[in-house]
Amino acid sequence: MPARLTQQVAEAFLPNPPEVLGVAVSGGGDSMALLHLLHGLCTLHGTKLRAVTVNHGLRAEAASEAQMVHQFCATFGILHDTLLWDAWDGTGNLQSAARDARFALMSAWAAEHGIDTFALGHTADDQAETFLMRLARRSGVNGLAGMSPRIIREGVTWVRPLLKASRAELRCYLQSQSVPWTEDPSNDDTAFERVKARQIMEVLAPLGIDAQGLSAVAEHMAQARTALDWQTYLAARDIAKVDAGAVVICERKLRILPHEIQRRLFVSAVNWISNETYPARHAAITSLMQALRKGQAATLEGCHACRVGGQIWVFREHNAVKYVQTPPDELWDARWHLTTADTSDNWRNVTVRALGKEGLEQCVDWRASGRPHAVLLSTPAVWRGDVVVAAPLAGWSQKWHADVIGGEETFFAALLTH
């Protein structure tokens, strides 16, 4: 068993291990086993290992558990930090908020220490529980594909090397290596959806439905998702383009695509334009598509979609950005760079905000851009007071350029990224 676990971890990072590797360690059995396994791998291949614990401040025992991890790390010469999350206001979904907070805190910590690869201790049991929870939500292929072995988020590559290992295997490993761990009492609290899913596994066992089986099904769904993603990417290359930060789709070619490919294309367009982490719900995307078929415009997640001259434009909704204002040297709407080659004093005391109706009226040649009126309203412009001094996307550049961060190719790349 130790050899099998060691091989699983090695396969996740070799043959090109990172120079520095971060690992999230709660003190529970899964993460402590991962920490111990990674220590062996990193020692063998000269990788610097750094560990971090997030204390959510929700249990009195959390501080002592973090201290236990710190002492264990010190024994092996592993640098360890504890991060505190104290931002929960008691409302909403606690587990979802805690998960997002962990990612945000660990991403910032990784950036601070020059870490671009991070290991997480999710197991086959976690994968099976995730599958059941998403099944209850009537998820499609993407949801039932479960957790990916490797994802990129917040500029960090997150790796789950133990997705084929069970909790029972990891605890046997810990015992064989005399590695301590703690048990979180919330793992038995049926107020949490994941705990309910864990208990249901016991009911399903007589049918031969176990963690390894559900994890295998999730892997099959992940392969199907990859195939669908590639088909969507190839279709997008043929029927879509990016113009002024909007995704423009040939309506005639769109109509002959399978419904699922159409849906995925719209989901990706909305996500890319709105900078949303999670995709819009299936029902919301379906409503948007139905409206477009009827020739109607639709809005979703701060985006607007409409038909113009045989094309479908998906772009930023003006209402979502009409109050967004930044200095010209900062990102506008978290996605636009505005730059100028003119280094004179002509551009002092200017701000960037949406062009809007008032600004568009000042751009007498906006029609020459070939872009629809509604699209231009939400594009960035340079203002001095109530006067538009530059609107690069509306035919009034004045030596200014407006570019989407990362370039327009990021839309197509996002079709293949999870």
CATH number at residue 147: 3.40.50.620
Query: What span, in angstroms and rounded, lies between the C-alpha atoms of 321 and 302?
Result: 8
Other Cβ atoms within 10 Å of 397 Cβ, number: 14
Query: What span, in angstroms and rounded, lies between the C-alpha atoms of 256 and 355?
Result: 36
In the prediction, which pLDDT does 37 show? 98
In the prediction, which pLDDT does 125 show? 95
In a domain, 230, yes or no: no
In a domain, 205, yes or no: yes
Same domain for 178 and 322:
no
| 117 closest CA partner among 56, 174, 41, 3 | 41
- Describe the strand order of the beta sheet including 79-84 as a list of residue ranges: 79-84, 48-55, 20-24, 117-119, 156-159, 150-153
pTM: 0.85
For residue 401, which phi and psi values (nearest 5 degrees)? -125, 140
Same domain for 418 and 371:
yes
In a domain, 28, yes or no: yes
In a domain, 229, yes or no: no
Count up the domains in the chain and report the number: 2
Same domain for 53 and 191:
yes
Same domain for 176 and 50:
yes
Residue ranges of the chain with per-residue pLDDT less than 70: 1, 87-94, 186, 345, 418
In a domain, 360, yes or no: yes
| 7 closest CA partner among 164, 211, 213 | 164
Query: In sequence order, which ranges of 258-352 are alpha helices (DSSP H)?
Result: 259-274, 282-293, 318-321
Same domain for 127 and 264:
no
Same domain for 79 and 193:
yes
Same domain for 270 and 165:
no
Same domain for 210 and 175:
yes
Same domain for 263 and 127:
no
Same domain for 150 and 279:
no
Same domain for 61 and 157:
yes
In the prediction, which pLDDT does 418 show? 59
Same domain for 112 and 40:
yes
Q: Which string of b and e fits 94-125 if b means at least 16 CB within 10 Å? A: eeebeeebbbebbbebbeeeebebbbbbbbbb
For residue 289, give both structure tokens: 């598509």
In a domain, 231, yes or no: no
Where among 202, 218, 234 does a domain terminate? 218
In a domain, 343, yes or no: yes
Q: Range of 400's domain?
A: 244-418
In the prediction, which pLDDT does 89 show? 63
In a domain, 363, yes or no: yes
For residue 342, give both structure tokens: 């003119």
